[in-house]
A = this chain, B = another copy of it.
Amino acid sequence: MKKGVMRPGHVQIRVLDLEEALKHYVELLGLIEMDRDEQGRVYLKGWTEVDKFSVVLREADQPGMDFMGFKCLDEASVDQLEKDLLAFGCEVETLPAEELKGCGRRIRFKAPSGHDFELYASKEQTGKWGLSNRNPEAWPRGLKGIKATRFDHCLLYGIDLDRTLELFRDVLGFDLAEQVVAPDGKRVAQFLTASMKAHDVAFIDHPEPGRFHHASFFLETWEDVLRAADLISMTDTSLDIGPTRHGLTHGKTIYFFDPAGNRNEVFCGGDYHYPDHEPVTWDADELGKAIFYHDRQLNERFLTALT
């Protein structure tokens, strides 16, 4: 949190059929519906999240990610970061408070990778779902499905990883926690964090800009990953791969698809990072093991199923 960027705060995902999507994100994934707006967007969150929402679903003709937003420490940080983004060469757009319900003004910019990101400092805090902030129980009763605890990160495919790293590291204060490096020294994957988490956002080198690989949600245990796998099967949800472990970050994971074809991940564990840690490096010829630690080979879908 060197520059006041605290964490991934929200992601807006395009879905083809909102009711089908809600069945997926609420009944299966276990996010909680918090609000809807006049545009028809639906606001969701994981139960441990203090802010009002972290996932926004928008019905559209094409799946994919509209934008990902990071919450900042305070408005002054956002002001400073806006200047720094302009100085870096980004165009910055301001969205007024309440354009997302309960969220203060946001500034939006496009990263060199081709993805839209946002920064904001204010969002209504409704508290953890189902728990009081006074003498809180260990967990709330009434959670559904996979019981995702929080929106954790996105993995994005796009262009110009070097310049994107400069932006996130030098302007936004992220650290490079892990990377995959080709034999010629080119970085082909970069995992970035603003805090102790192994990644708050990650990029994979890809010829098209602005593609969406997955949005990821955190679970507490490997047992929870198994329950997720069971529920994915029981609901005839399209599985990508898992349960397994990643080499990168060492998280324990399962990938699956929402009805629109957007990939979701639920995972637990994963290494922690501090700013004085050297990045972990994987060699591109170990990419199979880096991505899927047990299978040690990529499935074709991992590289090609993007939205």
Contacts of A286 in B (CB 8 A): 135
Tell me if B233 and A293 are in contact (CB < 8 A).
Answer: yes
A7 touching B234 in the complex, CB below 8 Å, given contacts A133-B281, A295-B239: no
Complexed CA–CA distance, A229 and B243 (Å): 11
A222 touching B233 in the complex, CB below 8 Å, given contacts A135-B286, A239-B295: no
Q: Is A280 an interface residue (CB 8 A)?
A: yes
Q: Which residues A232-289 have CB closer than 8 A to chain B?
A: 232-234, 239, 242-245, 247, 250, 252, 254, 269, 271-272, 274-278, 280-283, 286, 289
Q: Is A301 an interface residue (CB 8 A)?
A: no
Tell me if B283 and A125 are in contact (CB < 8 A).
Answer: no
Tell me if A277 and B50 are in contact (CB < 8 A).
Answer: yes
Q: How far is the CB of A297 from chain B (nearest CB, A)?
A: 10
**Which residue from chain B places its CB closest to the CB of A254 in the assembled complex?**
B294
Tell me if B6 and A134 are in contact (CB < 8 A).
Answer: no
Q: Is A16 an interface residue (CB 8 A)?
A: no
Tell me if B133 and A280 are in contact (CB < 8 A).
Answer: yes
Tell me if B230 and A222 are in contact (CB < 8 A).
Answer: no
Given contacts A50-B276, A73-B275, A133-B278, 12 further A-B contacts (CB under 8 A): A1-B1, A1-B2, A125-B276, A133-B280, A135-B283, A135-B289, A137-B233, A138-B234, A196-B196, A222-B222, A226-B252, A233-B293
Q: Which residues of A contact B (CB under 8 A)?
A: 1-2, 6-7, 48, 50, 71, 73, 125, 127, 133-139, 141, 195-197, 220-223, 226, 229-230, 232-234, 239, 242-245, 247, 250, 252, 254, 269, 271-272, 274-278, 280-283, 286, 289-290, 293-296
